Structure 1
Amino acid sequence: MAKTFLKIAAVYITLGVLLGMLMGIIQDFRLASVHAHLNLLGWVSMAIFGLIYHFYPHAAETRLAKLHFWLHNIGLPLMQGGLAIEILSGNSAMLPLVIVSSLLVVIGVILFTINLFLQLGSTSVKQAKNKDLPG
């Protein structure tokens, strides 16, 4: 999962930078929030998730990690696509999609947190016990 998170993070930074460049070229910054979310929730968060899963591979092998990945990567593009359409059209018809997809991302992040607490908590205890053993 670590490599998958890092690869998709690279896709998000590419999209975020291209959107930023496009906004600068056409001098229309209405999509600045979409640009920021792609960079923060896409690039930064996904890269951090990937690095954490690289250093704690047992956490990356869980069903929670896989579910987190899919919830985040279904929710984020739908949320940002819906938000972009809403901003550009001035129509709030996409609001339900934005809300539901935002909830997918939030649930994914909560699952990530639960996964870390479950996996890292047990590892820390095991490592501490092993350090106390003689030999």
Structure 2
Amino acid sequence: MGVKLIKISVVYFVIGVCIGLGMSMTHSFVLTPVHAHINLLGWTALTLAGIIYHLFPQAAATKWAKLHFWLHNIGLPLMMVGVIFVVYGYEAFVLATAIGGVLVTLGVISFAIAVLQNVRVSSLT
């Protein structure tokens, strides 16, 4: 699970950097929220979760970790595609953005449960 999350986080990192490069080249920063959320929730959060799951395999082996992976990686792209359309004026995509955001939030809660139930000081020694 840890390795899967680290690998998918790199995909989000590439996407986020490419969006940032595109914005800087065009001097249009309308996609700043997408750039920021992909880098934070995709690259940073999933890299850290992957490292935690790698260090604490008992947390990674739970149903909560699997739920976290799927909710986060379905919700984040849905939310980001929704935000792209919303910032360009397509208000009908607010619902997709909200659904994606709820899925990511539920994924993060699943991650928290996996960590709180399975990560202990004695796990590293």
Tell me which interval the TM-score lies in, with the shorter structure as reference length.
Answer: over 0.9
Question: How many angstroms apart in 1 are the aligned matches of 2:6 and 2:90?
Answer: 35
Partners of 1:23 and 1:116 lie apart in 2 by 37
The question of 1:68 aligning with 2:68 is answered yes
Q: Which residue of 1 aligns with 2:81?
A: 81
* 1:115 to partner: Cα distance: 0.9
> Shift of residue 63 of structure 1?
1.0
* Mapped pair 1:59 → 2:59: yes
TM-score, with structure 1 as normaliser: 0.88
Q: Deviations over 1:55-95 (max 9, x none)?
A: 0011111111011000000000000001001112x121001
Specify the code of the residue in structure 2 equivalent to 1:53: Y
TM-score under structure 2 length normalisation: 0.95
1:33 aligns with 2:33: yes
Structure 1 CA distance for aligned equivalents of residues 46 and 91 of structure 2: 28
Distance in 2, Cα, partners of 1:46 & 1:6: 6
Identity %: 43
The residue correspondences of 1:118-133 to structure 2 (distance < 5 A) are 118-120=117-119, 123-124=120-121, 127=122
Aligned mates of 1:13, 1:117 — CA distance in 2: 27
Equivalent AA in structure 2 for residue 25 of structure 1: M
Alignment coverage as a number of residue pairs: 124
RMSD over equivalenced CA pairs, Å: 1.5
1:90-105 aligned within 5 A: 90-105=89-104
Counterpart Cα distance in 2 of 1:80 and 1:15: 11
Unpaired stretches in structure 1, ≥5 consecutive residues: none
**Aligned partners of 1:95, 1:85: CA distance in 2, in Å?**
8
